[in-house]
Structure 1
Amino acid sequence: MIQKLKNKLYSLDAHTLEVVKKSGASTLVKASGMVIGLLVSVFLGHTLGAEGLGIINLSNKIVSILLIFSLLGLPQLLIKEIAIAYHKKEWGKVGGYMLSAYKLCGGVAIIIVLIFIAFAPYLSETVFKDPKLSIPLTIALVAMIFQVFSRIFSSALIGYRKIWQSNLVNETFSFAVIGIVLAIMWALNIEITIVRTAIAYAIGRVFVTFSVGLYWKKLYSHKTPVSNKTKELFKSGRPFLLITGVGVIASSIDSVMIGWLSGTRDVGLYSVASRVALLTVFFLQVTNSALSPKLAALYAGNEIEEMNKMVQKVTLGLWVIGLLPLIFFFVFGTDVLSLWGHEFKEGYLILVVLSIGQFVNIATGASGLILMMCGYEKLHAYISILSVILNIILNYILIQSYGALGAAIGTAISIAFINIAKTVLAKRYIGVSTFPNIIIKNKFNDLSQK
């Protein structure tokens, strides 16, 4: 059996094999981050309860939305441009893109942070009706400035094909530091409160930023003169801002609207169920990180057939992998949620609904990434905007009637809509089908050509 798997692996084309190899290291790093993140979440579920965990997650969700607007859509653009510049060994362009990104995003982030710190008490007391949110939100806003720079470094690492290192920055490293800080508090019998938890998260963000900054400085040691890319980045980043902005809003607006229309306790229940459901798309996130630079390079070389082979083989593996956690959550979902505490069992139906939506996400493969890496950012942005509007409307209607479960239903419908639409568009405009070479592929191709 093992020998057959080895033979199958080595029979892959060079591009797919590189993605698999890169994904292997990324999988280990991302899996470590996932495990650490789950352990931190379980620990906080027991120490803070659903309401306290909801406050921490709500502040993080608000900041995640603001973070995207601070980044101006540049992370995906940087991956694309730096990957091409790295391939051509144009080091001056790499330096120019990075320096311009620092100035643009750093300046915007400071302005946004100052504005929202001023309005934090109003948001907490009037909008979300929970005064305990104010201080954790303020702390998270300050830490956001450091997150902006760590995201820029992370994108550059992907462009340099340092995939697992980038995943280390985005997920694992930060959670590891947060976990260590919380463990020290627990060992010293320091009471773990909501505010102290927010401080632990901030320490993690700051530590990661300085660490990856030093790594990038070591990695990029070229003295080539750099040119100012500020105007180019600002102009070219707008379609990516729409894409990434609506993507993050789509993934965060549910929790924010629950906090607004239902309460922080429901945010806590929903956030745990959502975190568990996202395990379904774990491997999609990993392979997308490895696929990004390959897709940009292959499309630049007009190697469409090679792209088809690569993404279809990757998606076939994702189909098989995605079914396993979906079935597991259907059967053992209540037991899984009980790890956070008895009150979190209430989130079982939320978990089931979100898991179905995320399976549709993984089953359609890297269709959205293909559109972004192949010059169809605006097309991707338009369909993403429609999905976000649909998500907001459904959440507003359903949360008022069904609480957090209503948010799960609205979010699952939106996820299915956007991913099916992106898959059809990738086939129609680029000629790349993410569906594996099975019977359903022929039916899908007929649909995309109508």
Structure 2
Amino acid sequence: MREGPGNGGGEGGLAGALGIGGGEGARDHLTILSGTGQNIVGLGVFVVASFAMNVLIARAFGAGSPALGQITLATQLAFVVGAATRFGMDMAAVRRVAIETGRGEAGRARAIVRLAVQIAAAASLAVTAVAFLLAGPIADLVKAPHAAYRAAAVAVIFVAVTQVYLGGSRGLKIMRHTLYAYWVGQAVSWIAFTLAAWALLHRTVSVTVGAYAASWAFATMVAWFFWRKGSAKLLPVLPARPGEARELVRYGAPRAPAALLSQALFYADLFVLSVVLDKSSRFELSAYAASVRVAQALVLFLTAVSYMFSPFVADLHERDERERLNALFKSITRWTLAGTVPLLLLFFIAPEPVLKVFGNDYALGADWLRILLIGQIVNVSVGAAGFVLIMVGRTTWDLVVYASSFALDLLLAILLVPHLGPKGAAIAQAATLVVSNLFRLSLVWRFVRIQPYDRSYARLLLPAAIGGAVMLGVHSLLSGPRWALDLLGTGLLGALAYSIALLLLGLTTVERGAVMRVLQRARSGHAG
């Protein structure tokens, strides 16, 4: 199926094969499914590459080294600051391009994205200069090399501009550009640049962070190239609307601090932990950082669906098609939760072998990971509520959610970490995610009058119980020194049991028929 504006043709036949009817509603589902599939592939590569990078760092620097924690903190700080300094222009590009495309004036897209890139580049360049000058004091505060934080500062502008170009592509409902530049391009190139830099220079924290900056410069070039290529067909070319730059800034002003806080929210407790831990306990920082990384993998499917859902929210809300938007919101949230259950079960039942991928000593973080999962499953279960708020223009309320959540996480971490260490940090993050997501869900209902739940959610309970029981049984049989076999056996057999149970017991009649018809079509295609 072709992405972007003007989808048609074969969609009616595929919609019929899927058993979801025809018309615009069917096209919405199919476009989201197509884009989500691409996202899952890309995010799968991203997760594997990120995981491999963390394992590479952990093993290269040796057991007991604080390097993984230091590199994680520096690179995530660059990513967080880049999220803020793009000034909300990534989401502004998604929203404005989707709205103009829905109006039949997609030719304005290039002018909109050009303005958005200029705004993001100006803001990020100024912050990059300041961050570079302050790299020394920041590094001293967290007990890390100065050069690492100078390299992180350089990465900021590339992080910002890349995401704006990709936002424009997503506004056109084109997801593959995000896959090429970000999920695959940046993640894989960081590994390649790191290995090359270690061979040519030195194996240090600073060199590794420098390779991270280079990977984002590469991603910027890829994102620009594919945006130019993908938007070239949007004819006739139209200028931006009068006052477009002012509207972009107005929309982005609350998004800038909100984006900063949205990323910082996952690392505020890690920062407090890095300050509180004494030198003899520094390895706990790396073990906790690994636990946070693993827990964040739980939002894989949520991210995949939400990125594709966002332009539909902007378009349908602008056209006041609330019922259609409400139906889509329910569908994509249930899909998200169903797709996340196998990872949740694996991480909760067998956290030790999961963390041993980083090194045997990292199993220390098993209990911390279980605590973090509580917050992340609530995060997943409310679906794309945050994206809904942003795409309908409620960016000020989005800022309120993130500001209050960040304050809560920081306060809880300050109160708990000195007494409980990493366990206190995990409790702070999990509690914050629960509170913030319930708050966000209430705002979506208040302003948009849609919510993600219906009775079909109960169908997921029995497949989850079956998958969990199989994982418990396999894990009890395989647990021991052969942790890799334990991890693979528990994960694969449990996921298989869950998938079969989901197909037989967890899907609605229409969904089950859709899956069976797709499988039949696939078999027929292979037979032909």
TM-score (norm 2): 0.77
Counterpart of 2:214 in structure 1: which amino acid?
I
SS of 1:251's equivalent? coil
Counterpart of 2:208 in structure 1: which amino acid?
T
Corresponding position of 2:149: 137
Corresponding position of 1:10: 19
**Shift of the alpha carbon at 1:322?**
2.6
Q: Is 1:158 paired with 2:176?
A: no
Corresponding position of 2:34: 21
Note the aligned Cα RMSD (angstroms).
Answer: 2.4
Q: Show the 5 A alignment for 1:10-159.
A: 10-11=19-20, 13-14=25-26, 15-49=28-62, 50-91=65-106, 93-125=108-140, 127-128=141-142, 130=143, 132-159=144-171
**Shift of the alpha carbon at 1:94?**
2.2
CA separation of 1:242 and 1:9: change in aligned 2, threshold 3 A: farther
SS of 1:146's equivalent? helix
CA separation of 1:437 and 1:295: change in aligned 2, threshold 3 A: farther
Q: Aligned partners of 1:303 and 1:150: how far apart in 2? A: 32
Q: Is 1:181 paired with 2:193?
A: yes
SS of 2:266's equivalent? helix
1:417 to 428, 431, 435: 435
**Shift of the alpha carbon at 1:89?**
4.3
Q: Is 1:251 paired with 2:263?
A: no
SS of 2:173's equivalent? coil
Structure 2: gaps spanning 5 or more residues: 1-14, 460-528
**Shift of the alpha carbon at 1:407?**
1.2
- Between 1:373-382 and 1:110-119, the stretch displaced more is 373-382
SS of 2:66's equivalent? helix
**Shift of the alpha carbon at 1:91?**
4.9
Counterpart of 2:266 in structure 1: which amino acid?
S
CA contact (8 A) 1:106 1:148 kept: yes
Q: Aligned partners of 1:91 and 1:301: how far apart in 2? A: 16
Structure 1: gaps spanning 5 or more residues: 1-5, 442-450
Corresponding position of 1:274: 292
Counterpart of 1:434 in structure 2: which amino acid?
P
Q: Aligned partners of 1:54 and 1:439: how far apart in 2? A: 38
Q: Is 1:433 paired with 2:451?
A: yes
Counterpart of 1:24 in structure 2: which amino acid?
G
- Between 1:89-98 and 1:152-161, the stretch displaced more is 89-98
Percent identical pairs in the alignment equals 20
CA separation of 1:267 and 1:157: change in aligned 2, threshold 3 A: farther
- Between 1:324-333 and 1:345-354, the stretch displaced more is 324-333
CA separation of 1:190 and 1:142: change in aligned 2, threshold 3 A: closer
**Shift of the alpha carbon at 1:92?**
5.6
Aligned positions, number? 432
Q: Aligned partners of 1:423 and 1:226: how far apart in 2? A: 34
- Between 1:299-308 and 1:224-233, the stretch displaced more is 224-233
Corresponding position of 2:8: none
Counterpart of 2:164 in structure 1: which amino acid?
I
2:312 to 273, 287, 294: 294
Counterpart of 1:149 in structure 2: which amino acid?
V
Report the structure number with the largest CA radius of gyration: 2
Greater RCO, 1 or 2 (C-alpha within 8 Å, sep 6+): 1
CA contact (8 A) 1:254 1:395 kept: yes
Q: Aligned partners of 2:107 and 2:17: how far apart in 1? A: 41
Q: Is 1:199 paired with 2:217?
A: no
Counterpart of 2:183 in structure 1: which amino acid?
E
- Between 1:398-407 and 1:319-328, the stretch displaced more is 319-328
SS of 1:365's equivalent? coil
Counterpart of 2:385 in structure 1: which amino acid?
S
Q: Aligned partners of 1:232 and 1:415: how far apart in 2? A: 31
Give CA deviations for 1:81-106 in whole Å, capped at 9, x if unaligned.
Answer: 11112333435632332222232221
Q: Aligned partners of 1:173 and 1:378: how far apart in 2? A: 33
Q: Aligned partners of 1:180 and 1:391: how far apart in 2? A: 35
**Shift of the alpha carbon at 1:333?**
0.6
- Between 1:265-274 and 1:283-292, the stretch displaced more is 265-274
Q: Aligned partners of 1:219 and 1:318: how far apart in 2? A: 28
CA contact (8 A) 1:33 1:168 kept: no
CA contact (8 A) 2:166 2:227 kept: no
Counterpart of 1:291 in structure 2: which amino acid?
F
**Shift of the alpha carbon at 1:337?**
0.7
